Amino acid sequence: MSDKAWGGRFEKELDAIAARFSASVDVDGRLWPQDIDGSIAHVRMLADRKILSSDDANEIVAGLQTIRASIERGDFDWDESKEDVHMNIEAALISAIGEAGGRLHTGRSRNDQVATDMRLWTRQACESVVADIDALLEVLVDKADGHVDFLMPGYTHLQRAQPVRLAHHLLAWAEMLERDRGRLVDAAKRMNESPLGSAALAGTTFPLDREATAKALGFNRPMRNSLDAVGSRDFLLESVSALAICSVHLSRIAEELVLWSSQEFAFMQMSDAFTTGSSIMPQKKNPDMPELVRGKTGRVVGSLVNLLVMLKGLPLAYNRDLQEDKAPAFEAFDTVHDCLAVLSGAIASARFDKERMAAALQAGFLDATEVADWLASRGVPFRDAHHVAGKLVHQAIQEGRTLSELPLEAYEAAHDAFDDTIFLALDMETAVERRDVVGGPSRARVTDAIAELRGRLQARRDA
């Protein structure tokens, strides 16, 4: 960081353009809770180690708590000329308590200070988004539980493929989000090491107790290498990468909500609270909230690219480029938080159309695989069975019929293994129920999956 804040070495004031260009308090000001917490832990450790007197430490802690209260009330005077959140708080402390405030920075640099603040903030932000994901999972499990009887087409290539339960589809979304949750939990665990005490890059001559400050701030341990501690931001890469993947998943969910609420699908009606009208077409009910979730994915992916490019060429240890880590990290977390909240509300308030979904099962020959499976279960090689089923589909298309509308004679002509039980296999409910395998859409498997997800969510609430 710039030595200008400490004077001494410099004869000229920083150029006005350079001062404005390098100021960051408008972005990093939101780190004030972590900055104050870190400073209090640091000064108490200094007193315990007899590096500062207990009187000075007590005065500093009281001053920092007063500043905390001032910021919480909204009457703290943020000064862009003081460059960043750290210098604003320290300057206010010195102004409030005098000489003792100048001792706060003993054995510390803004390099390890900001690295500590960012780890504290990101750890808390990961926990917050994990809670947001759990809130959406609660919505999905409730919706799945209430719609086990709803059958719908499953799709490949956006073509109707095979029948599934709506609940099974909603639980597929839940599985994606469960993995997103796990990535953020893992990232939070890995980042939970304290840079504090690494100073500018090489530690300090003062006999600090880094284990004590790490424990006071809820870290598992101090970071093992001072150069790495102040110069690395891979904890941001990992957490924002997890957010980018989550955002892509949310975009896929949003896309299906947009499709399903269209007149072409009409599988669902979204609440007025999560749709908008048109400025010119009075009949329109637009799924703007899912569309915005889909659109905001670019912000989160862009934040990840921003961080990757910013870090890719930096030598150890600290470089001022690292000031640019905060805006993309903040934007990524803020955006995913909002997207999760919007989708939770949109899905919770949506109404699904059972009849429309059932009607969609009647076109597109979703039962063709049942024909092939029926033959294969009677000893016909599956590839041969697949070919026979395909010929029957072709015949049905030519005659303008469904497979269940073809006469038994058509089946018998296609293969001598057929008998009239083939028509039982063409029932959509039967087709779904026959898929009674782990991860499948049968009623028993879906209700088990709902119960398992409810159990996981309850265990998290109880933890």
Domain-by-domain residue ranges, the chain? Answer: 3-106, 111-198+224-355, 360-462
78 — alpha (psi -120 to 50), left (phi > 0) or beta? beta
pLDDT at 3: 41
Cβ distance 167 to 197 under 8 Å?
no
Mean pLDDT, consecutive 10-residue stretches, the chain (463 aa), reads 55 85 93 98 98 98 98 96 95 97 97 98 98 98 98 96 97 98 98 98 98 98 98 98 98 98 96 90 89 98 98 96 97 98 98 97 92 94 96 96 94 94 94 96 98 98 93
According to DSSP, residue 101 is labeled G
Of the CATH numbers 3.40.50.1820, 1.10.275.10, 3.10.20.30, 3.90.870.10, which one belongs to the domain with range 3-106? 1.10.275.10
Place of tokens 């009330």: 73
Cα 321 from Cα 228, distance rounded (Å): 15
User: What's the CA gap between 25 and 236, in Å, rounded?
Assistant: 20
pLDDT given for residue 1 in this prediction: 38
DSSP bridge partners of 286: 276
Closest to 168 measured CA to CA, from 350, 440, 370, 438: 440
CA distance 311 to 52: 37
276 three-class SS: strand
Rounded Cα distance between 430 and 366, Å, is 13
Chain-centroid distance, C-alpha 302: 14
User: What SS3 class is residue 194?
Assistant: strand
Fold of 111-198+224-355: Fumarase C; Chain A, domain 2 (1.20.200)
Task: Indicate the DSSP class of residue 100.
Answer: G
Which residues belong to the active site?
Answer: 157, 278
Contact 269, 351 (CB under 8 A): yes
Query: According to the model, what pLDDT value does residue 13 have?
Result: 84
The domain 360-462: what is its CATH number?
1.10.40.30
Dihedral of the alpha carbons of 31, 35, 38, 43, in degrees to the nearest 10: 180
Neighbouring-strand partners of residue 402: none
Please say whether the beta carbons of 343 and 304 come within 8 A: no
Among the listed residues 354, 430, 381, the one whose alpha carbon sits nearest the alpha carbon of residue 152: 354
CA distances from residue 299 to 215, 240, 313, 334, 335 in whole angstroms, order as listed: 35, 11, 23, 10, 8
The single-letter code of the amino acid at 78 is W
**The pairing of beta strand 193-194 with beta strand 221-222:** parallel
DSSP bridge partners of 276: 286
Q: Does the global pTM surpass 0.75? A: yes
Percentages of the chain per state (helix, strand, coil), in multiples of 5:
65, 5, 30
Q: List b or e across 134-169, with b for residues whose CB sees 16 or more CB atoms inside 10 angstroms.
A: bbbbbbbbebbbebeebbbbbbeeeebbbbbbbbbb
Q: Which two tokens stand for residue 256?
A: 């299906």
One-letter amino acid identity for 311? L
End-to-end Cα separation, the chain, in angstroms: 41
Query: Would you call 165 helix, strand, or coil by DSSP?
Result: strand
Single-letter residue type at 44: R
CB-based burial of residue 407 (10 Å sphere; 0-12 exposed, 13-18 middle, 19+ buried)?
exposed
Both tokens of residue 150?
A: 């709803």
Q: Which residues contact 377 (CB under 8 A, 6 or more apart)?
A: none
Q: Name the helix (H) or strand (E) containing 444.
A: helix 443-462
205 Rama sector, left if φ>0, alpha if ψ -120 to 50, beta otherwise: alpha
Query: Which amino acid does the sequence have at 161?
Result: A
Longest dimension (CA), the chain: 100
